[in-house]
Structure 1
Amino acid sequence: MIDSHTRGGGRITVDERADASGDALQTVITDVGDLSLEAAVGDFDLATLLTQVPAPVTALNLDACRIRFHQQLAASLLELEATMLGVRAAALAYRQAEKGLSEVFGGLLDSLGYATGRVIAISLPVLIPVALAVGSQVVVVTKILDATGLDEAIAKRFGIDLGTTKAKAEEALTRLVFEHSDASGAVIEHVLPGMIVGFIGLPPAVLDTDADHAFWPHDSQSMTIWLLAGANRFGLLLPSDVEVWKAEGLTPPHETPPQDLEDLYAREAGRHHGADSGQVRIEEIVGADGTTRYIVYVPATTDWSATSGDNTTDMTTNVQGMAGNDTVMREMVRQAVADAGIGADAEVMLVGYSQGGITAGSLAADPAFLADVNVTALMTVGAPISDFPIGPGVDVLSVEHEQDLVPDLDGNENPATANWSTVTVDYDPEELRRAPSLTDKTDAELDDMFASAGAAHSSAAYAASIALLLRAGHPALSRFTANNSGFFTGDLKKTRDYQGRRKHT
């Protein structure tokens, strides 16, 4: 069975269980206290007192028993009170310890990055000449070996293929970064900002800020803003306006609403597969009760060039979106929603994979967008969206692979709230091979599909994971489907597809 763990979505945590136990104990204490009061009042009942006159010895024994009863009852109440306070203190301590461990670990990584940055800054006069000398020698020797054919002679004589060795080294590094994505995310969130702050000589205290700015790097988002500013100076990753129009869909429209989450994600994946630039698709669904709902599918990355061309689903959209800026894809979705005539009261589900998830997640947290569009549900796959403050009115399901670096690029875990479930799947190629969606693949095709170090982020791998989770009856997927059943039933009345193109001034 596919291995996964879930955060949020109404799942009860240790501290929540402790709080619930504290509440239950408080109820018991209140009930026992009321009974104690009633018993004390009963001791002074006139009829009871009069019955003691004919039998004074029995009355004295009865009084002694009542006294012991009240003493033991008072002691029990004190024990219950102490237990209740202990349980509540344990819940508080758990939360503080969890928060403290996170802060201490983050602080240690901040310090490590800062120290590294200071060492680099101090050693720069020595490092630059050494790097130039070594680097130039490597380049020259490589060119000589290639021009003279000595690289082939080395391969034959010693069995060392320099080109293959370089490719394997790059693959090993990529695999290391992806397979330890949590550590890589922590490096992005803490170590790299610390290095920059240390290198430029700012005091380390600036790394402790929670302020939402980018005057200096202190987290993954501010680091992205700094990266973007540097790239813009060289004419890279530049923002632009966008032109949007209705287009023929990359895939034919469906006749019915999605059957389940596997079908929903398959339709999302069809918004970018085999395309130079992805498309936005909007499905209009009318339920049996006459309620109209819309599913908005947002495409993933199709172009990894750092130069902004015509393509809307490119690297520029990725970086701009991660920096918290508006993007051409956000504007493309806004224009598509407006053209589709989606009313402010109609329920809307946003669906996005990778870049599509970043766009969808940012829109689900955008007050201006939500003022016009009633987003009630959001499904993201393989997307870093923890930085987006999505409100409790949006039901969120996020699916991530444990070994996928992309969802960890924001350096944080998604909030574990009642309305937000994050299912993290242990990426296992041997298990994924059993997915129904891959039964038509040969062993050679599957080997090639899962061979890449970054295969954990592939759309096919996520499709397989979602299919296996569904067949296992995963509770988070079942909950999301049940809560949003209106998007999976009724009649699919209309499908609209939209294409976009960057406008350069």
Structure 2
Amino acid sequence: MSARDLTVTGGSTGISASMDDMQRAAGVLSRSAADVGAVAGHAVRDGLSVLDLADELAAPVEFGRAEAAVVTATVRLGVVTAEVEAIAAALAAAATAYRGTESAIAGGWSLVRSNAAYAAGFATRVAIANVATAATVAALTPPGQVTIAAAAWWATHGGPAHAAKWLHDHPDAVRALSEVASRSAGRISQMIAVAPGFVDGLIGMPPPGPDVPGFPSEPPWPHDTPSLARLALALGAPLGLLRPTDVRVRPSRGRVPAPANGPTDLSDLFARTDAQSDPRPGHIRIERVATGSGHAYIVEIPATQDWSPRAGSMPTDLTTNVTGMAARRSAMERAVADALARVPGLKRGDPIMLVGYSQGGITAAGLASDPAFRRKYSVKSIVSVGAPIADFPIPRDVRVLAVEHDRDVVPNLDGADNPDRTHWTTVTRRLPRTGDGAAGAHAAAKYARTIDMIRRSPPPAVAAWLAANAGFFGGGKSTSFDFTPTRVPAGSPGSPSLAAGAPSESGSDEPAGRRPTPRPRPYPGDRRASSR
């Protein structure tokens, strides 16, 4: 395990920061040129004011020399002014040209990938139609009827159960599939990136384009990862899957001992956050940490605990994952907002850090992207570990630290790299092939080792992030507030939406109150050129 296995993008050392530095330098030089020009003007005015006709008559030689010196100095200052202005213009043009070139490349790659994906989807639709026609014809023949009867007998005489038992009895096969998924995490990300274009071709809808007249900029058909997640919600609802519910938050003692002092480093912070996912159901812990100027609040959000597509009693489930990725306020986002509303002494303007692993990272990014939530709470930073958050429009005044593994499928589920932004630092660790597959690459214990590596030798961008968030890591006296979130069927007698005096953040994870949907990306899989 070596720091050489870490790759850092964005933050204070990212490309965006370099372009910002060039723009700032251009501004400084331009102002300096103006100052030099002003000096030249003063030199001419003041220099000539001391030279009058009497001096010229009394000492013509000295007068001529002085006048020549003033003119020479003025000319030189003018040359310096022009040179500084030229350098400033060149720097500004270079930064603008780089960003423009990057955007143009992204747009061209967008066209290639979108058209290829659309063609593949269209070809699949034609193939399905042909196969369906051929299957219908074959089903009318005696061999086809025998095949159908055999398949029906297999399905009704425990065939699926036998298949499941075979997988259970052959863990090596399951591990092999998991290892393939882990090795192919990057390819899975690319497949997800082109999925919207493929779906467009499959269902026969035109791919959206910013310059296509008559087409909305935010079309109702699938065109990016959030819209695919919304499609999954729409298709699952009639089957009773991924259905939204109300959520109720109750104060609890928490099963994890409350610390006496706040965290002092990243490893300490992640250990506290990961501990909230250990008990079932998961807990939300809000730590109030004393600082030199008041208090800072750290919100520790649990990870996924239930992968069933049916919403159960715990909101730490698959429904929350899909709802969050669909740009809707999920049950866990509502639960965190409700929990914060119950913390005594929390004042508007008190700095807040949101921390989450896996689903917790999705929830943190969703809340940080919600203007209504930010108007009520002063979110200064978020820490996301092993979560797909590239699609979230997190504003520039929220400092993001994202930690990911290259072979972890989960942070690749949004089909893109995190954007290179000054406020957004991403640390990716290259994992060795250990044979522990996709589950191992996403394991909290492995992320804990990665974060410890970062703690022992923080890259410059991470060091800058830590310096900007030093108030959260002072180790001051800590007071913990623990809450247990529970799903409540919408409209039931115990539903918060029907309870008197329920906090406004409670309610169903329906479209109402959702965070703004991200603008369509320049091309599937590249948020770097998107507006943040």
Same fold (TM over 0.5): yes
Letter in 2 for 1:171: S
Cα displacement (A) at 1:237: 0.9
> Deviation digits for residues 142-192 of structure 1, max 9, x if unmatched?
x8xxx9xxxxxxxxxxxxxx96896476335412431x1xx5434423x21
Letter in 2 for 1:301: T
2:86 matched residue in structure 1: 82
CA distance in 2: counterparts of 1:128 and 1:69, whole angstroms:
87
The question of 1:496 aligning with 2:505 is answered: no
> Deviation digits for residues 266-294 of structure 1, max 9, x if unmatched?
01111113x443221222334465x3433
Match of 2:241 among 222, 228, 236: 236
CA distance in 2: counterparts of 1:371 and 1:83, whole angstroms:
41
2:370 matched residue in structure 1: 366
The question of 1:331 aligning with 2:331 is answered: no
1:404 matched residue in structure 2: 408
Please tell me whether the aligned partners of residues 208 and 218 of structure 1 are also in contact (alpha carbons under 8 angstroms).
no
The question of 1:427 aligning with 2:412 is answered: no
Cα displacement (A) at 1:303: 1.2
Letter in 2 for 1:453: A
Cα displacement (A) at 1:355: 0.5
Change in Cα spacing, 1:294 to 1:165, as seen in structure 2 (3 Å) is closer
The question of 1:315 aligning with 2:322 is answered: no
Letter in 1 for 2:94: A
Change in Cα spacing, 1:230 to 1:13, as seen in structure 2 (3 Å) is same
Matches within 5 A, 1:110-149: 110-128=114-132
CA distance in 2: counterparts of 1:83 and 1:75, whole angstroms:
12
> Deviation digits for residues 362-408 of structure 1, max 9, x if unmatched?
12232333344333332221222233333344333222223333233
Q: Higher mean Cα deviation, 219-228 or 372-381?
A: 372-381
Cα displacement (A) at 1:460: 1.4
Cα displacement (A) at 1:250: 3.3
Change in Cα spacing, 1:244 to 1:84, as seen in structure 2 (3 Å) is closer
Cα displacement (A) at 1:49: 5.6
2:255 matched residue in structure 1: 250
Matches within 5 A, 1:212-231: 213=218, 215-231=220-236
Change in Cα spacing, 1:188 to 1:466, as seen in structure 2 (3 Å) is same
Please tell me whether the aligned partners of residues 193 and 219 of structure 1 are also in contact (alpha carbons under 8 angstroms).
yes
Letter in 1 for 2:430: Y
CA distance in 2: counterparts of 1:54 and 1:202, whole angstroms:
92
> Deviation digits for residues 192-213 of structure 1, max 9, x if unmatched?
1111212222233458789785
The question of 1:5 aligning with 2:44 is answered: no
Change in Cα spacing, 1:334 to 1:73, as seen in structure 2 (3 Å) is closer
1:469 matched residue in structure 2: 454
Matches within 5 A, 1:14-163: 14-41=18-45, 44-45=48-49, 47=51, 50-53=54-57, 74-128=78-132
CA distance in 2: counterparts of 1:312 and 1:46, whole angstroms:
83
CA distance in 2: counterparts of 1:303 and 1:266, whole angstroms:
21
SS at match of 2:239: coil
> Deviation digits for residues 203-256 of structure 1, max 9, x if unmatched?
334587897856111111111111221122322111112233334423222232
1:379 matched residue in structure 2: 383
2:181 matched residue in structure 1: 174
Identity over the aligned pairs, expressed in percent?
A: 33
RMSD, aligned CA: 3.6
1:151 matched residue in structure 2: none
Could you list the runs of 5+ residues in structure 1 that have no partner in the other structure?
148-161, 431-446
Letter in 2 for 1:474: P
CA distance in 2: counterparts of 1:425 and 1:89, whole angstroms:
32
Cα displacement (A) at 1:28: 3.6
Change in Cα spacing, 1:130 to 1:456, as seen in structure 2 (3 Å) is farther
Please tell me whether the aligned partners of residues 9 and 416 of structure 1 are also in contact (alpha carbons under 8 angstroms).
no
Could you list the runs of 5+ residues in structure 2 that have no partner in the other structure?
139-143, 159-168, 493-532
CA distance in 1: counterparts of 2:216 and 2:362, whole angstroms:
22
SS at match of 1:13: helix
CA distance in 2: counterparts of 1:166 and 1:328, whole angstroms:
36
CA distance in 1: counterparts of 2:292 and 2:61, whole angstroms:
79
Please tell me whether the aligned partners of residues 247 and 485 of structure 2 are also in contact (alpha carbons under 8 angstroms).
no
Please tell me whether the aligned partners of residues 200 and 221 of structure 2 are also in contact (alpha carbons under 8 angstroms).
yes
SS at match of 1:83: helix
Letter in 2 for 1:260: D
SS at match of 2:438: coil
Change in Cα spacing, 1:42 to 1:338, as seen in structure 2 (3 Å) is closer
